[in-house]
Amino acid sequence: MWGGRFASGPAAIMEKINTSIDFDWHLYRQDIAASKAHASMLAKQGIIAADDARKIAQGLDTIMSEIGSGKFKFKRALEDIHMNVESRLSELIGPAAGRLHTARSRNDQVATDFRLWIRARIDDINGLLGDYQLALAEKALKHAGTVMPGFTHLQSAQPVTFGHHLLAYVEMAARDRGRFADAQSRLNDMPLGAAALAGTSFPIDRDMTAAALEFDRPMANSLDAVSDRDFVMETLSAAAIASVHLSRFAEEIVIWTSPLVGLIKLSDRFTTGSSIMPQKRNPDAAELVRAKTGRVVGALNAILMVMKGLPLAYQKDMQEDKEGTIDALDALALSIDAMTGMVRDMEPDAERMKAAAGAGYSTATDLADWLVRTLKMPFRDAHHVTGRIVAKAAETDLALHKLPLAEMKKIEPRITQAVFGVLSVDRSVGSRTSYGGTAPKNVRTQAKKWLRTLERERS
């Protein structure tokens, strides 16, 4: 393709480092779609003959079929998806294939193809995240009143409900979907027509090509069009945050399924055994989701490092944008799928959860709030009094609601029998009725709201 300037071919190691077909073959649909749109525009503008455009379109359709059926033979010597397609097109239709590359460069071609590929991949991930949210909301509604311990510092803090805990991840996934949507809206400008870096002297119609490929508009600056990889960095940033969210939940699943904790159970479908210890049930799916976060975050770091020192316009360094991104988005999609499956599969041990929710004097805040409400005590004073009562309960090895009223009165004489009405875990979660709180009626309302929203998306 550029042999006219060179007297000999590249060294074997040069060919090896320079080729990208091993991973950019993933872009074949987008490359063919962009080429068909480009050829159609060239013909309409009178830049190539209509008959040549027809032959090009037919040849590209044949190539699409060949790749889809596995019959196409990719050649590493042709470097990338663009030249593999063009070479095969030449075999199929002859000299007319050489007209396809008029008024474009591989620089604007690859930037267009990759935007199209990422745009489609975001659609896939958005759908997977919606399925994940649906699984979470369904399980949350089922367990709106299932009491479990809420933690800070991984220490028992206050009782919450299992449904409330699951809805927290629904909210996280909603923000993830918003970030992907933002990235998708910003990447939907078309580079094609910028050519190598300066535009072209041919009378092309970039608006026509943009419309054909469902871009919002052509990019306004040819230098920016071929050198921009913000769309990769932004998409990977959204992917990294989403992956971190999944990893946090995966870590909780690992903890919760440990026999030492035993708050939930996963079936054989999402656990594995040991080759030497027959009693083992390992939460490997959760562990692998947790681990794949490193691949996603690593891909983001890699593209940031690639781009940080590049002058305008296109540099070969940018070839490193695709392999890590393709791997990262595949890893994220697999992780979301796995988490959705685990959410549907997991079953809480409600009795154990409730017992754990009452451990560690988790209703102490409810006692402090009662002192404020009933005795009109300043919260800081109530906090101090509650701390002394908790210390007394710990000294006598009694749960807070089992400590005799007489012992409490020694610390605060105005306390009455009514205080025991707020010290159970059920009363505690039931009282948290503020918007966003863990009260079961709140959880049911929020779960149903999410289910309506998510079902509307599917219809």
Q: Which residues are catalytic, by number? A: 153, 274
Phi then psi dihedrals of residue 439, to 5 deg: -55, 135
Both tokens assigned to 293:
């976060």
Q: Give the torsion sign (CA, 64, 70, 72, 73).
A: positive
Q: Radius of gyration of the chain from Cα atoms?
A: 30
Both tokens assigned to 332:
């994220």
Beta bridge partners of 148: 160
Distance of CA 186 to the CA centre of its chain: 17
Q: 3-state DSSP call for residue 165?
A: helix
Both tokens assigned to 413:
């004489």
Rounded CA separation 21/25 (Å): 5
The answer to whether 21 and 79 are in contact (CB under 8 A) is yes
CB burial of residue 447 (10 Å; 0-12, 13-18, 19+): buried
The answer to whether 362 and 159 are in contact (CB under 8 A) is yes
Q: What one-character DSSP code corresponds to residue 202? A: S
DSSP result, 278-338: TT--B-HHHHHHHHHHHHHHHHHHHHHHHHTTPPSS--GGGGHHHHHHHHHHHHHHHHHHH
The answer to whether 386 and 397 are in contact (CB under 8 A) is no
Biggest CA–CA distance in the chain, Å, is 100
